[in-house]
Structures are given as structure tokens and as C-alpha cells.
């Protein structure tokens, strides 16, 4: 699968990834924080409470990630993806009707299960099966769905809120998710010509036990946890920070959030292009440096124009962050066990995504300022950079490390 011109199947796979990620991540993950301040203001819930929905969901579903990866490896990503798309849409419709915390948590967990089944995990496996030489480019194009969705959703949600109210706006977004993503996923194939896309050289059989004994796995795991925690802790609190702390209007907040996701498009394209040309380790370090380096700009939010500079830089890092992890995993472990590997990594990344936003929001509720929370996120980002810098620098080195692990 290294032809310069992509096949029709590869085009369908990439388009399916774009639409499903637009829906599952762009709408559900980046769209939900747009509604946080409505729950705070209308129901009297604290910032920590509304961000805890994300935490409860990620913890509850985290243990399911490896099982989801096993299902994908065993039965293929297509059916799992379709199930996740339906779950994600139904979850948003349910969240539009909640009146109590238990309902809020229930549908948030349902949304997270939809994310696990229909979001990055099945798409990472699907794209890795269909692409080899241009895998980074394909992943970057598919992940544009997150940026485009996240860029458009704040504007769409704002207009729907003004026209129908926020309850109906959230319900309509849930319906939109299903209409956009489900039809394309129905027609895509799990593998090229019904067979697993084999690499040029036969991949060694790698057991789960050997993976858990491998030091590159733990470096990748810790590094991704730290950077994902920094990204999630920042992005999940931005709307609250803008609307309540900085007193921005809904339009101003929507514009900045759209800029974050618009610049993430640049990040995905640029980092996907770089990942096909230079060692992925250095692309990963660059992404993590951009994320950690952008957060201090939030301390300068009162200076005119700084918040837009933050949005642009942070968006580039956000765009590459989630995309580079499966590319690095495929380089280290190969594609045959991608579902289980990414299931393990996403389980622990989910823990970071769960606690980081809630910790930042809790520090804000206690101290009356986001200063300590932002500092914690910067530290997380720096730890991620240091950890990833210790990864081997090339696929050959990584495969050699695994060969040693297998012999042992």
C-alpha cells in the first residue's frame, strides 16, 4: 500500500476517519465544554462538578479500553466504530435532557464509551491496516476531522443556542453526529481486499506479556499520559476561563475556541507530514514542547492579543498530540497488535484526561484563580518531553529492543 496515488478503498478509509472523528471528537469531546457554563449558571453546579463528568466517564470507561482494543483486533474496527457513533449521538441527546447529577454522569459515561468505540482507537487501527508508507499523511488527514469539527462546533452551538436554547442545541448536535458519520462507516472495509495489510517484512509475533516487559512501552505510556493530561486539563477549562473568569461574551469565547481547533488543522497536517520524513520521536518531542510552551501565555491573558496567540500555538500542539501516539506505537510494535496496544495506552491516557481537568478546576474553586492549575499543566508537559526524549530514535532500534525482550 505504498502507491503514490491512493486507492478508492484508502480514500474511503480516510474519509470515514475524517467524518467519525469530526463527530465523536470534534462535536462530543470539544463541543461539550461549550455547554459547561450553562450547567454552572442554570443548575448551580461548581466548575469541579461539571468537569468531573469527564473524569467519571474516563475512569469508568478506562478499564474497557483494552477490551475494546481486543474486540477490534478480533472482529475488525468497522462494526465497533458504527456502534460507537450511535452511542455518542444518543449520549448527547440524553445530556440535553438531564436535570440531576446522576443523569449527567450516566450519559457522560455513555458518551465516553461511544468515544472509545467510535473515535480514535478504531480509526488508528483501520488507517494502520490500509496504509504503510503514507500512514502519517493519512492519519493527519483523517484527524483533520477533529480540528474542523472542533472549529465549527462552537459557532454552530452558539447559533443553535441563540435560536433554540442550549438544551435543544445539544440535542441537535447529537443527531448531527449520527447523520454525518454512520453512513460512511457502513460502507468501509476492515482490511484491503478483506485481508490484513501485511508489511513488507513479516512482523515478529509479540505477546502482551513481552509488551508489558518492554521499556519503550512504558516511556511511550508515561509520555503520552503527561502530554494528554496537559492538553485535556487546558482545553476542558478554557470555556469556563473565558466566560466566567475573563468575562468574555459567548461570541468571543466561541471565536477563540474555534481558533484553537482551526490551528489544530495546521498541526495535524504539519506533524503528519513530518512524521513521514523524520523520526517520529522528534516529532513527538516537538509537539509536546509546543503544548507545554503555550500554556504560560494564559498568565498574560489581560494583554491584548495574547489569548489569540495562545489559541494559535496551543492548537498546533493539540492537533499533533493525539495523532502522533498511534504512529509511534505502530513504529514500535507493528500493526498486528495495534488494537490492544492502543487500548492499553488509551486506558491510562483516559486516567490523565479524567483527573487533569478536574484537578485544574478544583484548584480554581479553592484558590479563586487558575494560576496553580496552569502551573501543574506546564509541569506535566515538561515531564512528557523528558520521557519521550528517552525513547529510541528509529524503528530499527525499537524493533531490536523488542527482539531482545522476546528472547528474554
Predicted confidence (pLDDT) per residue in 352-382, tens digit: 887 888 889 889 988 888 999 999 999 999 9
Average pLDDT value for the chain: 82
Q: Please give the pLDDT value at position 195.
A: 53
CATH number belonging to the domain at 8-407, selected among 1.10.8.10, 1.20.1250.20, 1.10.357.10, 3.20.20.10: 1.20.1250.20
More confident residue, 327 or 168: 168
Q: Please give the pLDDT value at position 313.
A: 95
What is the CA angle 40-42-43, rounded to 5? 70
Average pLDDT over residues 305-321: 92
Least confident of 86-100, 108-122, 209-223, 324-338: 324-338
Predicted confidence (pLDDT) per residue in 251-284, tens digit: 888 888 888 878 888 888 888 888 888 888 899 9
pTM of the model: 0.70
Q: Please give the pLDDT value at position 279.
A: 86
Q: Please give the pLDDT value at position 42.
A: 85
Amino acid at each position: 500500500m505504498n502507491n503514490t496515488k491512493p486507492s478508492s478503498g484508502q480514500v474511503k478509509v480516510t474519509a470515514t476517519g475524517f467524518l467519525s472523528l469530526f463527530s465523536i471528537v470534534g462535536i462530543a469531546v470539544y463541543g461539550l465544554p461549550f455547554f459547561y457554563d450553562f450547567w454552572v449558571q442554570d443548575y448551580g453546579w461548581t466548575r469541579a462538578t461539571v468537569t468531573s463528568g469527564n473524569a467519571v466517564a474516563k475512569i469508568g470507561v478506562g478499564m474497557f479500553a483494552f477490551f475494546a482494543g481486543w474486540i477490534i483486533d478480533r472482529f475488525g474496527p468497522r462494526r465497533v466504530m458504527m456502534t460507537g457513533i450511535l452511542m455518542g449521538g444518543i449520549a448527547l441527546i440524553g445530556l440535553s435532557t438531564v436535570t440531576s447529577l446522576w443523569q449527567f454522569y450516566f450519559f457522560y459515561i455513555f458518551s465516553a464509551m461511544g468515544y472509545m468505540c467510535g473515535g480514535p482507537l478504531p480509526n488508528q487501527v483501520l488507517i494502520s491496516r490500509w496504509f504503510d508508507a503514507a500512514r502519517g499523511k493519512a492519519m493527519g488527514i483523517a484527524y483533520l476531522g477533529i480540528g474542523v469539527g472542533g472549529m465549527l462546533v462552537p459557532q454552530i452551538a452558539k447559533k443553535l443556542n441563540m435560536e433554540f436554547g442550549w438544551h435543544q442545541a445539544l440535542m441537535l448536535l447529537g443527531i448531527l453526529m449520527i447523520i454525518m458519520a454512520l453512513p460512511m462507516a457502513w460502507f468501509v472495509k476492515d482490511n484491503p481486499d478483506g485481508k490484513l495489510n501485511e508489511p513488507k517484512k513479516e512482523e515478529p509475533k509479540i505477546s502482551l506479556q513481552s509488551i508489558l516487559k518492554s521499556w519503550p512501552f512504558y516511556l511511550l505510556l508515561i509520555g503520552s499520559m503527561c502530554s494528554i493530561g496537559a492538553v485535556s486539563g487546558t482545553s476542558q477549562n478554557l470555556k469556563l476561563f473565558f466566560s466566567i473568569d475573563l468575562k468574555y461574551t459567548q461570541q468571543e469565547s466561541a471565536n477563540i475556541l474555534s481558533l484553537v481547533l482551526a490551528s489544530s488543522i495546521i498541526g495535524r497536517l504539519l506533524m503528519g507530514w513530518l512524521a513521514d520524513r523524520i523520526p517520529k520521536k522528534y516529532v513527538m518531542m516537538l509537539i509536546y514542547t509546543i503544548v507545554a510552551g503555550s500554556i504560560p501565555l494564559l498568565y498574560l491573558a489581560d494583554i491584548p492579543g495574547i489569548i489569540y496567540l495562545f489559541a494559535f500555538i496551543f492548537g498546533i500542539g493539540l492537533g499533533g498530540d493525539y495523532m502522533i501516539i498511534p504512529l509511534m506505537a505502530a513504529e514500535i510494535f507493528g500493526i498486528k497488535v495495534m488494537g490492544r496496544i492502543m487500548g492499553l495506552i488509551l486506558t491510562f491516557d483516559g486516567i490523565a484526561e479524567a483527573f487533569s481537568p478536574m484537578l485544574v478546576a478544583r484548584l480554581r474553586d479553592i484558590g479563586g484563580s487558575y494560576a496553580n492549575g496552569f502551573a501543574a499543566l506546564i509541569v506535566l508537559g515538561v515531564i512528557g518531553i523528558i520521557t519521550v526524549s528517552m525513547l529510541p530514535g528509529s524503528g530499527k532500534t525499537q524493533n531490536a529492543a523488542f527482539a531482545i525482550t522476546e528472547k528474554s
